[in-house]
Chain A
């Protein structure tokens, strides 16, 4: 396959950045998108140029490190798939592909396609924990969890924190990520003691980090590689209203 890439190159946080065009003449349709970038980088290194910086780790779609806005869509054209699991057979011979980093004030570019996602860590630090006795592990059946709650919590827990929701959102909001964490912990009995405290603290951390506000456009859930449903945000709103309306003061 012949592929033309238009890649965002930025030397560092202070650099202005620009799109640079690269041509690859021998791309295998069986390569993953990241492997295609690896091939390009080897070529660039041989030519004495600076390779393109991009984030990646497990390359099996579960770590949340890879990113890239491919042709304007976070993680590329394939639904519910991370960039590392996207294959070149999804593109046509002769395609021109635009590759950009996540764009958000809270995700500043470090270099090329790598952005700093520590804003997510701040949100997690604010409330992504439970109080539980540590030491000996409790029996698996000591705390009963209703099956529907377990299923919904698991669905939300699939969030890998990649930030595609922010990249896709026209408002630059991270509400889907925040809601996934709030839902995951708030549905389980172990998450109840901090439930109403958590939602307020995490939303505060979200707003402080400079993310935008949610207007329920649904772009996030369409781009999410794990298919986190939009309803998690409704759940967050419900808990947030309950917490701030004073009805649950006792638990705060």
Chain B
């Protein structure tokens, strides 16, 4: 879980930084999107890097979900009889929403790919025009799409808040002396990542990107 999660987190960082290109105007982000297809050239053929990355991401995602399902199944087996009275849990909100939060994120990722990669569910998708596609997607009258994106990104934030700390602990990299720093670093990372992602739909909504 920790290793596959780390691969996905690295991708999330790169994706967020790429998104910020939108603030430099249509030419720059569209050029950036075109460049993504030429990474590794001339060693790699056109779009090969992109496809290798997609395969790695998909494999990580499938392994991540498989292990989560195995852990859930194991947890069910380990407690066949449930408590009649369950106290309010003491752990964090992030920790107890990992499983359902993960399901929501998975559904969002499917929608997101259909929306802005294939354009299947996008109102006026034009291949290569990232700027225009974003502006049309988050247009103020499509506020429900923006709302869904915001909720999904916040869900990713909660998932990562617990996931980052857990991953570091799973890999045995934390220590009592560093525990406080680890929690602070995870919170800071999540806030920056979520803010970075939300800035784009926000900018479209207020008309900064049009």
A29 within 8 A of B: no
Interface size on A, residues (CB 8 A): 43
Q: Is the CB of B96 within 8 A of A217?
A: yes
Chain B interface main SS type: loop
Minimum distance in angstroms from B2 CB to a CB of chain A:
9
Give CA–CA (A172, B175) in the complex, Å.
24
8 extra A-B contacts, CB within 8 A, seeds A100-B85, A171-B75, A216-B166: A69-B83, A69-B85, A104-B79, A105-B78, A211-B78, A216-B165, A222-B90, A234-B169
Q: Is the CB of B98 within 8 A of A215?
A: yes
Identify the interface centre among A100, A216, A231: most chain B CB within 10 Å of its CB. A216
Which B residues are in CB contact (< 8 Å) with A145?
A: none
Chain A interface main SS type: mixed
Q: Is the CB of B91 within 8 A of A217?
A: yes
Give CA–CA (A171, B85) in the complex, Å.
17
Query: Which A residues from 211 to 250 make CB contacts under 8 A with B?
Result: 211-213, 215-219, 222-223, 229-231, 233-242
B95 within 8 A of A: yes
Q: Is the CB of B80 within 8 A of A105?
A: yes
In the complex formed, the residue of A with least CB distance to B85 is A98
Q: Is the CB of A170 within 8 A of B77?
A: no
Minimum distance in angstroms from A231 CB to a CB of chain B:
5
A88 within 8 A of B: no
Give CA–CA (A168, B175) in the complex, Å.
23
Give CA–CA (A69, B81) in the complex, Å.
14
Q: Is the CB of B83 within 8 A of A103?
A: yes
B34 within 8 A of A: no
Q: Number of contact residues on B: which range applies?
A: 35 or more
Give CA–CA (A69, B82) in the complex, Å.
12
Which A residues are in CB contact (< 8 Å) with B98?
A: 215
Q: Contacts A171-B75, A237-B169: A219 and B89 contacting too (C-beta < 8 A)? A: yes
Q: Is the CB of B91 within 8 A of A222?
A: yes
Q: Is the CB of A219 within 8 A of B91?
A: yes
Which B residues are in CB contact (< 8 Å) with A213?
A: 70-71, 74-75
Query: Which B residues from 151 to 182 make CB contacts under 8 A with A?
Result: 162, 165-166, 168-176, 179
Which A residues are in CB contact (< 8 Å) with B75?
A: 170-173, 212-213
**The one of A172, A219, A222, A231 that contacts B179, using a Cβ cutoff of 8 Å:** A231
In the complex formed, the residue of A with least CB distance to B167 is A216
A63 within 8 A of B: no
Query: Which B residues from 56 to 105 make CB contacts under 8 A with A?
Result: 70-71, 74-75, 77-92, 95-96, 98
